[in-house]
Structures are given as C-alpha cells and as structure tokens.
Homo-oligomer: A and B are copies of this chain.
Amino acid sequence: MQKPQILITNDDGIHAKGLKYLTSVMRKFGDVLVVASEESNSGQGHAITVRELLRLEKIHEEEGYREYMTDGTPVDSVKLGEQIVLGKTPDLIVSGINHGSNASVNIVYSGTMAAVIEGCITGIPSIGFSLNDYSSDADFDVCGPYIEEVVNKVLKEGLKPGVCLNVNIPAVPKEEIKGIKVCRQSDARWHEQYEHRVDPRNKDYYWLTGYFEKLENNEETDQWALDNNYVSIVPVQYDLTAHKEVENLKKWNFNGYGL
C-alpha cells in the first residue's frame, strides 16, 4: 500500500519549532512535503497573493521528505504545494503546530487555520494543531500523542466534505492533560488598544496591541476545554451562513423589492 502524501504548512514560518515538531511526528505516517514562508505570517487570515508574484524554492529533499520555502501566505502555501510541487491532491493536510491558541475567535485571524480551511475547500482532510504557548521556544513534547491519535482517527474514519478540524492543546505537563474534548467554538473578542508613537520625521504611527475577552464560559466550548487542561477539537466549516437567521430575514419583506 502506498504511503499517504502529507502536506504541512504553518503561519509561524519555516524555521518555527512547532513546524519542525509537527513534521517529525507526521513523517511516521507518510511522505511529507513542507511548504512554508520564510517569515511569520501570523494574523494573515485567509489572505492570498493576487497582486504580487510568488516565489517557491526547494530547501531540502531526502527519502520521504521535501521542504519548500515561499514568500506567500499559508493559503498560498497549500495551493503552491498542491499545484506546483505535487501536481496532485495530497491525502492529508496538517498545519501548525501554531505557537499560541487558535481556540475561540482566534480562528478567524489565524493563517494556520486558514490553510486548513483552504484544504477543506479543496476537498482534502485537513487538521490544524495549536499549542497554547506563544513563545518561540515553547515545549511541544506534550503534543505528540494527541497529534498521533487525531491523525490516526482521521486517516481511518475520514472527514465529511466541508468539515476540517481545529485542535488546541494546553501548554501544561502531559500528566495534567485530562483528555480530548470535542467542542464548539467559544464566543470571545479582542479589544484593540493601539499604541501611538511618532517617528523621527514627526509622523504618527500605531502598533496593534489588545486583550482577549471571553464572552462565555460554557463547558461545551473550546476555550473552556483549553482553560481546563483538555485538548479541544472543533469541527470547522467554511459555510459561513447563519442558517437560523435565514427564515427570520425572509420575514423582513423587503418593501417593493421582495419576492
């Protein structure tokens, strides 16, 4: 039986410790292609490169493993890996391990999860992994068994079309992790606080800072799971329709413009 072809990317860049750790775990499962950017693309969301040219350079190749660097975004990396390097659809896409949580509303801003959603749109089983530790030297050792467990299940059971997975792992010693919990996305928001500065030419500029506000604390949510030392798994879709609102909006009877 042929080994699965696995495509890996991330949004912390090709030198990130989380990417290297994820790669070492995934090489147990099949042939690995890494495509990632040289620099961090954190907070890039579902950005794609349409107005600029894209570079793609082979960095390393050995039996069962290839590594390419691009100047594109995480979503570009998925597209380039599939179209230019593989010339075919990979069997599995994994993204991460993100340095920091992608639970709750963080998924909306995340390049790591955008790559996963892109894989999902393309019809490929896709999983994003994040560790709840933002430091570049985070200890990823706790992640291995959970990644293997989730990947094994996905390879065996498959994922429904239009569904991918957002997996967040608490940054605590392995003996403190209570298990895996299937969740829904928690409601929360970031409050921006821009830091105002003035440059040497007397022009204003701003740095984005802010704090995270939890808008609920429900045991069914990924944020609760992560806060309580569970590995959270949320099934994610790219159908953004607020289905419950469709019928309500129809009652608005758009005056003179309705059906």
- A-side interface residues toward B, CB under 8 Å? 40, 42-51, 53-56, 75-76, 79-80, 82-84, 105, 107-109, 114, 117, 121-123, 145-146, 149-150, 153, 157, 160, 162-163, 166, 178-185, 187, 189-190, 192-194, 196-197, 203-208, 230-231, 233-243, 245-246, 248-250, 252, 254-259
List 19 other contacts, CB 8 Å, given A54-B208, A235-B246.
Answer: A45-B46, A49-B208, A53-B206, A83-B192, A83-B194, A84-B196, A108-B117, A123-B189, A149-B256, A166-B240, A178-B259, A179-B254, A181-B259, A182-B249, A182-B250, A235-B242, A236-B240, A237-B240, A237-B241
Q: How far is the CB of A135 from chain B (nearest CB, A)?
A: 16
Q: How far is the CB of A146 from chain B (nearest CB, A)?
A: 7
Q: Which of A44, A105, A207, A256 has the most B CB atoms < 10 Å from its CB?
A: A44
Q: Does more than half of chain A's interface fall in helix, strand or loop, or is it mixed?
A: mixed
Copy tally for this chain in the complex stands at: 2
Q: How far is the CB of A170 from chain B (nearest CB, A)?
A: 13
